[in-house]
């Protein structure tokens, strides 16, 4: 009989484990932008079959972290300055919406307005410095 008060148990497929490991490698910079590799190389490196590796690489390609070179393998995506600007703009839109929502419906904590103002000020200073 399952215990209802315990932590949720999650199962991760081999495909997901490989995708997570490769994502970590990319984000940590251990796989450099433009670096090319094949399904076979990754499968041998992780000691697994090609199928879950291929599936993981397709997932990472769909997420924009990899580019697929037909019949040649995969390459770590190289982001341009315009890509980074778009990411910053999207992040700014999200954070502005959050601050607007918090300003219109402030939390009950009396310290919240001062904390929000401080965070906004530091964000604006960082934007001017960039």
Residue in 51, 74, 63 with CA at minimum distance from that of residue 23:
63
Q: What residue ranges do the domains of the chain occupy?
A: 14-76, 81-129
Four-CA torsion 39, 18, 68, 81, nearest 10 degrees: -140
What confidence tens digit (pLDDT) does each residue in 66-86 have?
A: 999 888 899 999 988 998 888
The whole model's pTM is what? Answer: 0.62
Residue 23 pLDDT greater than 70, yes or no: yes
- Which pLDDT band, with edges at 50, 70 and 90, does 64 fall under? very high
Give percent of the chain above pLDDT 70. 87
Strands (E), the chain: 36-37, 66-69, 73-76
- Which pLDDT band, with edges at 50, 70 and 90, does 1 fall under? very low
Architecture of domain 14-76: Orthogonal Bundle (1.10)
């Amino acid at each position: 009989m399952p215990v209802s008060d315990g932590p949720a148990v999650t199962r991760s497929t081999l495909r997901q484990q490989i995708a997570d490991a490769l994502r970590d490698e990319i984000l940590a910079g251990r796989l450099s932008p433009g670096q090319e590799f094949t399904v076979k190389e990754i499968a041998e490196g992780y000691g697994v079959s090609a199928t879950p590796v291929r599936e993981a690489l397709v997932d990472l390609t769909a997420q924009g972290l990899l580019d697929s070179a037909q019949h040649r393998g995969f390459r770590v995506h190289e982001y341009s300055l315009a890509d980074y600007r778009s990411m910053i703009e999207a992040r700014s839109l999200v954070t502005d919406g959050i601050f607007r929502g918090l300003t219109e419906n402030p939390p009950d904590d009396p310290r919240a307005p001062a904390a929000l103002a401080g965070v906004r000020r530091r964000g604006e200073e960082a934007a001017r410095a960039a």
